[in-house]
Amino acid sequence: MAAAMIGRFQPFHLGHLELVRQILDENNEIIILIGSSQANYTPKNPFTAGERVWMIRNSLIESRIDMSKVFLVNATDDDNNAKWFSNIRSVSPPFKVLYTGNNFVKTLLKRESVTIKEPKLFEENLFKGSVIRKLILEDNAKWQELVSEAVRKIFREIDAVERIRNIYQTWMDSPFSEPKK
C-alpha cells in the first residue's frame, strides 16, 4: 500500500524532493496530494494545479525517481474542514499512512483511520514555498538553489518570477483579495 504526502507545492522544492525520497525508502509507493489545487494566481498560490503537477513530475524524473511508484493527485479545499479528508479519500488511491508536519492537518485527522508520520524535514526553515517566493520578491537569486533544475526550467517557460512579482504588486486591487478590515 502507498503512503501519502500533502502540500501546496508553491513551488515544489528540494525539501519536498527529499521527503519523496524518505517516503519511498520506507514505503512501496507514494501518493503526492496537491493541496489547494483549485487555488492559483494569488500571493500564496501563484501556480495552477497543472503547473504544480508539471514541476513535481519533471523534478522526480530529473532525480531518477521511479515514476511507476508515484501517484499525483489534485486535492481541492473544502470550506467544511470536517469533510476535507473524506473528499481527499474520494479522489486518491487508498493509503494508510500520511506524512505531515502540519498541526492543523493532524488535528483534522485525529478521528480518521490513517497513521500520521512526522517527516524528517530537510532544513525546514529554508525549504518553504513562502521563503522561495519572498526571495524572488527581494530579487535574491538564492531561491534558485532551493529548487531543482527542472523547476527552474519551468519557471523560465511560464515566466514565474514576473508572475509572482505582478501578483504581489496587483493583489490588493484584485476583486479576489480579502476585504479591508
pLDDT, tens only, 55-92: 999 999 999 999 999 999 999 999 999 999 999 999 99
pLDDT, tens only, 118-169: 988 766 667 889 999 999 999 999 999 999 999 999 999 999 999 999 999 9
Q: Is residue 16 part of a domain?
A: yes
Range of the domain at 12: 2-172
CATH number of the domain that residue 86 is part of: 3.40.50.620
115 backbone dihedrals φ, ψ, rounded to 5°: -90, 130
Cell of 139: 530579487
Q: Is residue 177 part of a domain?
A: no
Cis bond upstream, residue 11 (ω within 30) = yes
Q: Is residue 181 part of a domain?
A: no
Q: Is residue 84 part of a domain?
A: yes
Answer yes or no: are the C-beta atoms of 12 and 129 closer than 8 Å.
no
Answer yes or no: are the C-beta atoms of 95 and 57 closer than 8 Å.
no
Residue 58 CA: distances (Å) to CA of 14, 63, 157: 13, 8, 13
Q: Is residue 179 part of a domain?
A: no
- Structural domains in the chain (count): 1
Give the pLDDT band (50/70/90) at residue 172: confident
Q: Is residue 180 part of a domain?
A: no
What pTM was computed for the model?
0.91
